Structure 1
Amino acid sequence: MQIETLFAQIHTLPSIPKVAQDLILQFDNPGSSLDAVARNIEKDPVISAKILRLANSARFRGARESTSIEDAASRLGFNTLRTLVLASAVTGAFKAGPSFDIKGFWLKSFEVASVARILAKKSGADAEIAFTSGVMHNIGELLIQIGAPEVAERVNAAHRGNTAGHVASESLQLGFGYPEVGAELTRRWNLPKVIQNAIAYQAKPLQAPNNEVQPRIIAQAILVSDALEAHGGLNEEAKASLRTPLFEGVDLDALFQALPPVLEADKQFAELLS
C-alpha cells in the first residue's frame, strides 16, 4: 500500500481548527504578545474551555478562580499555553472506534512527551518542541487504525507494549509505519518542519537530516516509556534496560530522579484534555 492510498481511504481526515493553526504561527512569531494570543484563543470555545479548566486545576490554581482567557493565559504562561493549545487541538481532532483504548493511547503519548521534555532540558534542546513532538509522536497510529483496521488488529495483538516491533510489523505489512503516517499528517497540517522530522525519524534517529536532535530525544523518550511499562515502573531493572548506545551521555540516575513528579503532573494534564 502507498501512504497516499491510506489517506485516501480515510473519508474525513482529522483536521486542526483554523484558530489553532493561526495560534501555531503566532507562537512561532517572536513578536507575538500573550494578550494577542489570548484574543485569538477566545475565538475557539472548545480550546477556551480547556484552558480555563486547566488554569483552575489543582496544578495551576491560584488564590482565586480564573474566569477569563486573559487571566488564564497570564497564569499559565506562554510555554504552557502553547503546549495546551497544540495538545488540545490534536486530541480533539481524533475520534476512535469503540474497540480502541483512546484514553490509554493519550496517556502513553503524554508520558512520552513528559520524558522528552526532561531529556530536552538536560541536553539544552527546545523542551516545548520536544513535549509537543512527544504528544504527537504516534498520531499516525490513529490513522492506521481508521484506514487499515485489519492490519491494525493483527499488529495490535502481536506487539502489545513493544514499540519497535509494532513499527517494524506495520512497515512489513503496509510498506510504512505510524512514524511516516504521522509525519505526513503534520505536513498536511502545516506544522513546523522540526516537529515533522521528530515524528518521521523517531524509529531511525541517526538518519535524521542535519543531525537534528529532536528525533533522538523522542526515540529515547519512547524507550524510557516502554521500559517503565515492561518493568513495572521507575526501578533499577527499567534503568538497566536503557544502558544502550542511544543513551550515551544521558545521566539515567538523574533522569529517573526527576521523572516521578513530572509524570504524575502530566498524567493529570492528559486527563484534563481527554
Structure 2
Amino acid sequence: MQELDALLAHSGKLPALPRSVALLLAELAHAQPDLRRLNQHFGQDPVLAARLLALANGPAFQMARQVAGIPEALALASGQQLRTLVAATAVSTAAQAPSGVRLAQFAHYSQQTARLARALAGQLPQDQVAAYTVGLLHGLGELLLRLGMPEEMSAIDALVSPLDARRGLVEQQILGYSYAQVSARLAERWRLPMRIVEAMRYQNEPLAENAGEPLAAIVHLASWRMRAHLAKLDEKQMADSFPGDVGLLVGLDIDMVLQQDPFDWRGQPA
C-alpha cells in the first residue's frame, strides 16, 4: 500500500526515551559494558530494541537465521556498533516527539505487555524470547502514525485514547488499516523473523483465517490486560471485555491471564 510505504519514510525519526538513551550511553562508555545492564536497558525501550534487532538482522552480520531477541542481538554487536546505534537514536529523540502520546507511558505499557506476553508464552509453551519481542514492539506503528499523520491521529484521539482497547478497530474503520499493520511493515523493513511480523500483523485479529501464528493471540491477550488496567476496568468490566474466543484458541482463560501478571502496577508512569 502506497500510503504505508510513505509512512515508513518516517521510521528513522522514531524517538526513544531520553532516560534509556542516557543510561545506555553511560554504560557503553565503560571499557567493558555489562551485558546484563545492556539487555535491561534495551529491553525497556521499544524503539531502541527495534533498532538493535534491525542491526542484528542487517547485512553487517548475514546470519543464517534471523535474530528474534535482544540477548542474541547483543551477543553479535560490537561496542562501537552499539554506541553508534544509540547515538543516532539520541538525535531522533531530541528532534521530534510524536504528538498526543506520552513516551514514558507508552514505553512502560510496551514493556509490561512484553513481560506478560513472555509469561503467557511460557504457559503454552511458546517461544518466550519471540513473545517478549512481539510484546515490546507491537505498538510501534502507533508512534509512526503520529509522526507521519498527526492530524488524522488527533482526530482519532477525539474518539478513543491512544492506548484504548478499541484503538486498532477505530483506526481500521477510518484509515483502512491500523497500527498493527504499520508495526508489521516496520518489522518487515527491519528484517525481523516472519513469525514476529505475522504476529504483529494479526495482533488485533488473531482469529482471522490467515492468522496462523499463536504469538498473535498471546500479544492480543497481553495487550488486553494492559489496556484494561490503563482504563481502570473493574472485575466485572474485565470479565465482560475479556476476549474469550482468543483465549480459547491458545488454551488460556481469564484467570490464567490475570494470574500471570509479573509486575507491580504501582510503578506505572503518570
Describe how 1:70-149 pairs up with structure 2 within 5 A: 96-97=97-98, 100-149=101-150
Residues 200-243 of structure 1, C-alpha deviation per residue, up to 9 Å, x if partnerless? 000111226472211111111111112222335xx644652327
**Alpha-carbon distance between aligned partners in 2 of 1:203 and 1:25, rounded to the nearest angstrom:** 32
Instruction: Tell me whether 1:155 sits opposite 2:190 in the alignment.
Output: no
Tell me: CA distance 1:125–1:98, structure 2 relative to 1, closer, same or farther (3 Å): same
Describe how 1:23-102 pairs up with structure 2 within 5 A: 28=65, 38=75, 40-46=77-83, 96-97=97-98, 100-102=101-103
**Alpha-carbon distance between aligned partners in 2 of 1:148 and 1:178, rounded to the nearest angstrom:** 12
Tell me: CA distance 1:37–1:100, structure 2 relative to 1, closer, same or farther (3 Å): closer
**Alpha-carbon distance between aligned partners in 1 of 2:229 and 2:123, rounded to the nearest angstrom:** 20
Query: Is contact 1:179–1:202 with CA below 8 Å preserved after alignment?
Result: yes
**Alpha-carbon distance between aligned partners in 2 of 1:213 and 1:159, rounded to the nearest angstrom:** 28
Tell me: CA distance 1:36–1:11, structure 2 relative to 1, closer, same or farther (3 Å): closer
**Alpha-carbon distance between aligned partners in 1 of 2:5 and 2:74, rounded to the nearest angstrom:** 35
Query: Aligned pair count?
Result: 221
TM-score (normalizing by structure 1): 0.66
User: What's the offset of the Cα at 1:127?
Assistant: 1.1
**Alpha-carbon distance between aligned partners in 1 of 2:85 and 2:139, rounded to the nearest angstrom:** 25
**Alpha-carbon distance between aligned partners in 2 of 1:106 and 1:13, rounded to the nearest angstrom:** 16
- Residue equivalent to 2:214: 213
- Residue equivalent to 1:181: 182
Tell me: CA distance 1:165–1:29, structure 2 relative to 1, closer, same or farther (3 Å): closer
**Alpha-carbon distance between aligned partners in 1 of 2:92 and 2:244, rounded to the nearest angstrom:** 36
User: What's the offset of the Cα at 1:42?
Assistant: 2.1
**Alpha-carbon distance between aligned partners in 1 of 2:140 and 2:255, rounded to the nearest angstrom:** 30
User: What RMSD in Å do the two structures reach over aligned CA positions?
Assistant: 3.9
Is the partner of 1:231 in helix, strand or coil? coil
**Alpha-carbon distance between aligned partners in 2 of 1:164 and 1:223, rounded to the nearest angstrom:** 6
Is the partner of 2:146 in helix, strand or coil? helix
Query: Is contact 1:41–1:48 with CA below 8 Å preserved after alignment?
Result: no
Tell me: CA distance 1:192–1:93, structure 2 relative to 1, closer, same or farther (3 Å): farther
Amino acid at match of 1:40: A
Amino acid at match of 1:258: Q
Percent of residue pairs identical: 26
Unmatched tracts of structure 2, length 5 or more: 15-49
Of 1, 16, 21, which aligns to 2:51?
16
Is the partner of 2:263 in helix, strand or coil? helix
Tell me: CA distance 1:139–1:121, structure 2 relative to 1, closer, same or farther (3 Å): same
Tell me: CA distance 1:149–1:120, structure 2 relative to 1, closer, same or farther (3 Å): same
Tell me: CA distance 1:122–1:151, structure 2 relative to 1, closer, same or farther (3 Å): same
- Residue equivalent to 1:68: none
**Alpha-carbon distance between aligned partners in 2 of 1:4 and 1:116, rounded to the nearest angstrom:** 29
TM-score (normalizing by structure 2): 0.66
Tell me: CA distance 1:174–1:229, structure 2 relative to 1, closer, same or farther (3 Å): same
Tell me: CA distance 1:227–1:47, structure 2 relative to 1, closer, same or farther (3 Å): farther
Amino acid at match of 1:146: L
